[in-house]
Amino acid sequence: MKMAAEILENLFDSTFAEIRQAREIFAPQLQLLETGTIISVATGIAKVSGLPGVGSDELVMFPGGVLGVAFNVDANEIGVVLFGDYSHLHAGDEVQRTGRVMDVGVGKGLLGRVIDPLGRPLDGNGPVAVSRRLPIERPAAAIMDRAPVTEPLQTGLKVIDALIPVGRGQRELILGDRQTGKTTIAIDTIINQRDKDVLCVYCSIGQRGSAIAKALATLQQKGAMEYTVLVVTEGNDPPGLSYIAPYAATSIAEFFMEAGRDVLIVYDDLTHHARAYRELSLLLRRPPGREAFPGDIFYIHSRLLERATHLRQELGGGSLTALPIIETEAQNISAYIPTNLISITDGQIYLSPALFELGVLPAVDVGKSVSRVGGKAQRAAYRAVAGDLKLAYAQFEELETFSRFGARLDEATRSIIEHGKRIRFCLKQPESEPLSMPTQIAVLLALTAGLFDSVPFDKIKDAEHAVQEAAANIPAEVRARLDSAEKMSNEDRESILFIARESCVRFQRAAGSASKRDD
């Protein structure tokens, strides 16, 4: 009993000795803390006095942990963009500098998560595991650090992969009026990256909650969330969050790119981003310009999209492919924001309301769409069929317009129109059903070879499905050669055509018997 008391006494003595030593070592330090005062609070912004040492784009802290960034640094006051609920802020409240710029957590732990631009989780699955933090505003890769675009990014959509190809490291604009299927193309492209070693970041800027929920449900249903990060701001969020969302999402994507991975980022959509920036600029009394947008609206998008690139092998060889989405009004692609983005990007996919109303989905207008880079990265198998296809489709569109005037057409013109109708029909594709490359090649080869021309129009859908199913029988060595950069040989072409012809033959026979009955 006495020994236990001695042990306890020694333990207390050693503990108090360590406490005494720590107390003697500690020396209080004075730290200079800059504080300011709120002058006024408006929709998503605050005017602040004081903070003489604050820098542009520096984070400042408001009561309640609300963050803001110094947007306007004037002689007498600072215009701050707020990133949270500001309903409790009032004139006279204290503001503190943080000494750092806006940053976001990055890391593999973000995959499969839904977060806001500040990195806070929105999916109810607990804290987000991040490995480091990166500034949301980062300089784009230098020209000498970039490599040519040489690898295709397959969207799984026949009309895009064949006629408007996208390469890894490219910036391809998707534009069109409201409700024409812009987001659907982006979501289908993300779904098609499954098992293709491409990570995805989907940035939703100021969208309705129901639209975000639908996109999330589709990605979860198709198993795409395993390799996808969702960065979300809703329509009722402060405009400051919508403004920083695409920059935060790009920093997350750049983390994976710099680790040597191929990444796809979707900005849905930059119309809301431009409007959020316009709102903030006008509230902060920046001078308006064309369509009330401030003069630097071009710069905010160019410095964002220039970060998409393909890095040299010495830097890991990763790539960042950007699919920005923009909404037009009454098909006006010559408006201010669309023309800005068309000049920044490497091509555009234009969705036509007229085609959408006709049920041609995806409603891609091939004549107004272009890819200025992806053709260099397109597989040779596509190039072997795409040239004839695009020419035949363009001829059909011209003749279809001409035929509406009731002119009498000769047999050759009628055959071009009938062939074009089948091309348009076969380029249609259901939502969330991307096709593999061999399947697309089989259908496109059957189209260019005229295998569907003798099939009745009401049987084309069944004939196309038969070709798609038969594409599974393409030999493995032929599939491997299709996915290489080599030119498609005549033997491979004939073997695919043989499989397609065998699957179509029963529908063609039905067409022959029908014509005999007509006679």
Report the Cα 352 to chain-centroid distance in Å. 20
With H, G, I as helix, E, B as strand and everything else as coil, classify residue 100: strand
Is residue 86 within 8 A of residue 66, CB to CB? The reply is yes
Question: For residue 105, what are the β-bridge partners?
Answer: 133
Residue found under tokens 């084309």:
460
Q: How far apart are CA 222 and CA 193, in angstroms?
A: 11
Token output for 273: 């981003």
Token output for 220: 């979860």
- Phi (first) and psi of residue 77, to 5 degrees: -155, 165
Residue in 372, 414, 506, 509 annotated catalytic: 372
Q: What is the DSSP letter of 365?
A: -
Q: CA angle at residue 375 from 460 to 267, to 5 degrees?
A: 85
Is residue 152 within 8 A of residue 379, CB to CB? The reply is yes
Q: What is the DSSP letter of 311?
A: B
Token output for 17: 């000795």
- Phi (first) and psi of residue 408, to 5 degrees: -80, 130
Is residue 200 within 8 A of residue 252, CB to CB? The reply is no
**Helix or strand (DSSP H, E) at 5:** helix 2-25
Residue type, 158: K
Positive or negative, the CA dihedral 8, 13, 18, 23 is positive
End-to-end CA, the chain = 118
Token output for 444: 């496109």
SS (H, E, C) 138-203: CCCCCHHHECCCCCECCCCCHHHHHHCCCECCCECEEEECCCCCHHHHHHHHHHHCCCCCEEEEEE
Residue found under tokens 């072997």:
384
**Helix or strand (DSSP H, E) at 50:** strand 45-50
Query: Is 97 annotated as catalytic?
Result: no
**Helix or strand (DSSP H, E) at 90:** none
Residues 6+ apart with CB under 8 A from 80: 45, 46, 47, 48, 60, 68, 69, 70, 71, 95
Q: CA angle at residue 119 from 181 to 302, to 5 degrees?
A: 55
Active centre residues (catalytic): 372
